[in-house]
């Protein structure tokens, strides 16, 4: 996912960064897609992957909501 922070990449570009088989890489891509953390689209012969930023933004809001009530209680004590 760190590779996708700077923008979309092809499956080949991502594969070049790892020393695992294409089958293993495909397995991991599928897990990330099922978790809705990345998106993929086919452009001709290439598969393009990108981060699903809306899910990451939702997660950030959830974490902030969990932290925020604790910070309020500390201030009032």
Domain coordinates in residue numbering, the chain: 2-76
Task: Tell me the longest C-alpha to C-alpha distance in the chain.
Answer: 61
Question: For the whole model, what pTM was predicted?
Answer: 0.66
Q: Report the alpha-carbon distance of residue 7 to residue 31 in Å, rounded.
A: 20
- How is domain 2-76 classified at the CATH fold level? Arc Repressor Mutant, subunit A (1.10.10)
Q: Which helix (H) or strand (E) holds 67?
A: helix 53-76
| Nearest residue to 3 (alpha-carbon basis) of 19, 22, 16, 62 | 16
Q: Give the pLDDT mean for 46-67.
A: 84
Q: What is the mean pLDDT of residues 25-50?
A: 92
Q: How confident is the model at residue 62 (pLDDT cuts 50, 70, 90)?
A: confident
Q: How far apart are the first and last CA of the chain?
A: 40
Q: Average model confidence (pLDDT) for the chain?
A: 84
């Amino acid at each position: 996912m760190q590779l996708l922070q700077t923008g979309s990449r092809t499956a080949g570009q991502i594969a070049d960064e790892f020393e695992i088989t294409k089958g293993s890489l495909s397995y991991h891509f599928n897990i990330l897609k099922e978790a809705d953390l990345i998106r993929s689209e086919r452009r001709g012969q290439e598969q393009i992957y990108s981060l699903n930023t809306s899910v990451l933004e939702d997660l950030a809001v959830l974490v902030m909501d969990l932290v925020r009530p604790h910070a309020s209680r500390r201030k009032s004590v």
